[in-house]
């Protein structure tokens, strides 16, 4: 290797180190100036992710392990008691974090992949493709998403793949709308016109010129859309057409233990059992919204 090549390699390595250091410094600086609500939200999200990833190591029992103690009280071998089949509530709460959040994240990613791709393509073309996609989205958005999802899952079955694909397609209509709206403000810029004159393809313009310039609103929308998808999956499971047993899911856990509320007069812990998965759903939703609000404030350029 020549001295010039060695010098270029060393300079490139130093540049990468400085870039990583600058990124870490910016992240640390942003966390130090974050409001308490954002810190709370990030802490909760990190906790949920940790529980979901390490669920098999944290859960005291198996996800579908059954004991001869249906509706066992809190304490002893079962911290939060057991359900109607004798399954440990705590273990199913832990596994439910992996299943519910994992499916919600996957669904949201797929919805954004579909919605962003078609939204940017429609904003660039502004011809028959734009009209075709926009009118198709109008038709899908005219139907209540929860009712439409219930109908489709009743037809095709409530498998995890069907849940992910159906909800992703329905939610991609909302992503399409916001992506097209923000992309329309970018496609008229001079650098996009220059890329078209250079003969760059549609895919290159979408990835290199438009997507990087509309990321802040899309990232914020991702957080909000995740909350809606997360709540939709929980609602479908509560209605019996979402994630099917024996897979643990917070929505179905609320439905399965809801009957215990009528025994509140005799055992307050029994009445609190269905509140545990409901509280887990509510806490994650609030935490994500706190982080999204902070991110929107950071990217908007507003100062306190």
Predicted TM-score (pTM) above 0.95: no
108 found inside a domain:
yes
Q: What is the count of structural domains for the chain?
A: 1
24 found inside a domain:
no
Mean pLDDT lowest among 25-39, 55-69, 117-131, 174-188: 25-39
DSSP character for 242? S
Inter-CA distances, 278 with 106, 127, 200, 237, Å: 21, 46, 50, 12
How far apart CA 246 and CA 116 sit, in angstroms, is 35
268-290 confidence digits (pLDDT tens): 777 788 888 989 999 999 999 89
43 found inside a domain:
no
Q: Is the confidence at residue 111, as pLDDT, over 90?
A: yes
Domain hosting residue 102, numbered range: 50-300
Comparison of pLDDT for 251 and 261, the residue scoring more: 251
Residue 268's Cβ-count burial label (10 Å; 0-12, 13-18, 19+) is: exposed
Inter-CA distances, 167 with 79, 132, 172, Å: 35, 21, 8
20 found inside a domain:
no
251 found inside a domain:
yes
- CATH code for the domain in which residue 293 is found: 1.10.3720.10
In this structure, the number of other CB atoms found within 10 A of the CB of residue 155 comes to 9
Q: Please, which pLDDT band fits residue 25 given cuts at 50, 70 and 90?
A: low
189-198 confidence digits (pLDDT tens): 877 778 777 8
Give me 68's structure tokens.
């001869």
132 found inside a domain:
yes
144 found inside a domain:
yes
Got the DSSP string for 116-182?
HHHHHHHHHH-SHHHHHHHHHHHHHHTS-HHHHHHHHHHHH---HHHHHHHHHHHHHHHHHHHHHHH
User: Where is 31: in which H helix or E strand?
Assistant: helix 3-32
149 found inside a domain:
yes
Task: Judge whether 123 and 210 are in contact, CB under 8 Å.
Answer: yes
Confidence (pLDDT) at 217? 84
Confidence (pLDDT) at 14? 44
Task: Judge whether 227 and 282 are in contact, CB under 8 Å.
Answer: no
Confidence (pLDDT) at 7? 46
Q: Which residue has the tokens 């919605």?
A: 115
User: How far from the centroid of its chain's Cα atoms is residue 163's Cα?
Assistant: 14
Q: What percent of the chain has pLDDT over 90?
A: 14
């Amino acid at each position: 290797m020549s001295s010039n090549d060695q010098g270029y390699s060393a300079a490139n390595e130093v540049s990468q180190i400085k870039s990583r250091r600058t990124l870490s410094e910016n992240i640390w600086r942003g966390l130090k100036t974050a409001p308490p609500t954002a810190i709370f939200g990030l802490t909760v999200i990190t906790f949920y992710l940790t529980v979901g990833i390490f669920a098999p190591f944290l859960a005291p029992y198996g996800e579908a392990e059954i004991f001869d103690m249906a509706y066992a009280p809190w304490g002893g071998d079962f911290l939060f008691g057991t359900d109607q089949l004798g399954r440990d509530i705590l273990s199913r709460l832990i596994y439910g974090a992996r299943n519910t959040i994992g499916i919600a994240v996957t669904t949201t990613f797929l919805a954004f992949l579909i919605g962003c791709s078609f939204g940017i393509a429609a904003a660039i073309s502004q011809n028959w493709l734009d009209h075709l996609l926009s009118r198709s989205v109008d038709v899908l958005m005219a139907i209540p998403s929860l009712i439409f999802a219930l109908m489709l899952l009743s037809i095709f079955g409530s498998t995890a793949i069907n849940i992910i694909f159906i909800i992703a397609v329905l939610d991609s209509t909302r992503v399409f709308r916001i992506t097209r709206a923000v992309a329309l403000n970018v496609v008229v810029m001079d650098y996009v016109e220059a890329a078209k004159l250079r003969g760059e393809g549609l895919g290159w313009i979408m990835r290199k010129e438009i997507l990087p310039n509309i990321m802040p609103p899309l990232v914020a929308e991702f957080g909000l859309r995740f909350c809606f998808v997360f709540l939709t999956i929980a609602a479908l499971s509560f209605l019996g057409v979402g994630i099917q047993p024996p897979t643990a899911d917070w929505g179905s856990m609320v439905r399965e233990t809801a009957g215990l509320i009528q025994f509140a007069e005799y055992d307050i812990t029994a009445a609190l059992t269905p509140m545990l998965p409901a509280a887990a759903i509510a806490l994650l939703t609030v935490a994500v919204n706190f982080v999204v609000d902070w991110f929107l404030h950071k990217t908007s350029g507003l100062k306190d």
